[in-house]
Structure 1
Amino acid sequence: MKTTENILIIDLEATCWNDRPPRGQESEIIEIGVCIMNAETGTISQNEGILVKPQFSKVSPFCTELTSITQQMLDDEGVLLEDALDILRAEYDAENLTWASYGNYDLHMLQSQARRFKVDYPLSDDHINVKTLFGELHPTVRKSVGMARALSELNLKLEGTHHRGVDDAKILHWCLEQM
């Protein structure tokens, strides 16, 4: 596993529904939670959520309950996906840093959305699946577990806003210390 001095942690939110999406709507990225973690110290130097306006869907009440993101927030503050990916490149050096996510959902969603909207994929090929790595390194878990369970196993509290990447970074730092 290749790591850079700083690791970019990504945690996506996407439109979602309690059941099926309404006709004509599809799951789209609505927030890119991002933070930069120093691989050696675990220190977080940058942390934000980049709100993204969906083009083919609306935020459902179920999605707002799950993520705290409203359609009004996206209408007022959101940017197009292409602009959000440009922010990753310009402000986070995303093409040059090792990046991580808790599971492969974020990896696959970013790849899919970049293809769907015909925009350049913004991240390096060096990806760490924190969920898998934690399962491989934890002495008692030895399987994939959710982020909240991983934090509990490490006696760590959920400190950030769920789904923003900070807590994923704490788990990743623990993993890196075990290696």
Structure 2
Amino acid sequence: MSKQLDKILVIDVEATCWKGKIPQGQKNEIIEIGICVLDTASGERVATDSLLVKPNSEISEFCTELTTLTQAEIEKKGISFKEACKVLKNKYLSQQYTWASYGDYDRRQFERECQEKTIGYPFGTSHINIKNLLALTQNWKREVGMATALEKLDIPLEGTHHRGVDDAWNIAKILAWLLKASPYSSL
């Protein structure tokens, strides 16, 4: 299968979380996969989606405060992690495109959950860590969070921070900025 380079899938996951120590019997599990498809030729964000995913762990009050996602909403609208991976593969052709995330957390979370749940990894081998790439290209002394990066680049944050779909949208804007800023860019 040949790699497609006309688009990049920008992914941001939200996962179950707790204030402080993870309670016994609980674990970090994906509850939202935010997707933004970035057209590499134009730098336009051409599609966006939010896949809500039912975890085995409970969604804490802290997690709801952070993400706005509730246990009831996820139970009502969520799909299984396995089904979400199928959507990535079938609808977004995730194994044919390079995918990107802000940092390595999202990649590691997918790898861990796929291994634990014996589900095929939905992505190909090409992953871009935008957090690292941005810090390197801007000669920053350290990597910074997404909201700080947007602020430093004078790009307004759109939507709700810590909602996967909105964060993917904002991260794609950072990646489009990076592609345009490249001396080799045709954007």
TM-score interval (norm. to shorter): over 0.9
In structure 2, how many angstroms separate the alpha carbons of the residues matched to 1:108 and 1:178?
Answer: 28
Which 4+ stretches in 1 moved above 2 angstroms?
Answer: 160-164
* Partner SS, residue 66 of structure 2: helix
Residue number in structure 2 paired with 1:43 = 44
Q: Structure 1 stretches of 5 or more lacking a match?
A: none
TM-score, normalised by the number of residues in structure 1? 0.94
Give the AA of the match of 1:120.
G
Residue number in structure 2 paired with 1:171 = 174
* Partner SS, residue 12 of structure 1: strand
Residue number in structure 1 paired with 2:11 = 10
Contact map agreement 1:137 1:178 (CA 8 A) in 2: no
Residue number in structure 2 paired with 1:134 = 134
User: Cα deviations across residues 86-141 of structure 1 (Å, max 9, x unaligned)?
Assistant: 000111110000000000000000000000100000001110000001001125x3
TM-score, normalised by the number of residues in structure 2? 0.90
Report the Cα offset of residue 41 of structure 1: 1.8
Residue number in structure 1 paired with 2:62 = 62
Bigger mean CA deviation after superposition, 4-13 or 142-151: 142-151
Residue number in structure 2 paired with 1:147 = 146
In structure 2, how many angstroms separate the alpha carbons of the residues matched to 1:8 and 1:81?
Answer: 18
How many residue pairs get aligned? The number is 176
In structure 2, how many angstroms separate the alpha carbons of the residues matched to 1:34 and 1:81?
Answer: 15
Report the Cα offset of residue 175 of structure 1: 1.2
Give the AA of the match of 2:86.
D
Residue number in structure 1 paired with 2:102 = 102
In structure 1, how many angstroms separate the alpha carbons of the residues matched to 2:88 and 2:64?
Answer: 24
Question: Pairwise CA RMSD of aligned residues?
Answer: 1.4
Contact map agreement 2:53 2:79 (CA 8 A) in 1: yes
In structure 1, how many angstroms separate the alpha carbons of the residues matched to 2:81 and 2:176?
Answer: 29
Report the Cα offset of residue 142 of structure 1: 4.1
Fraction of identical pairs, as percent = 41
Are residues 40 and 161 of structure 1, via their aligned partners in 2, closer, same or farther at CA, if it must alter by over 3 Å?
farther
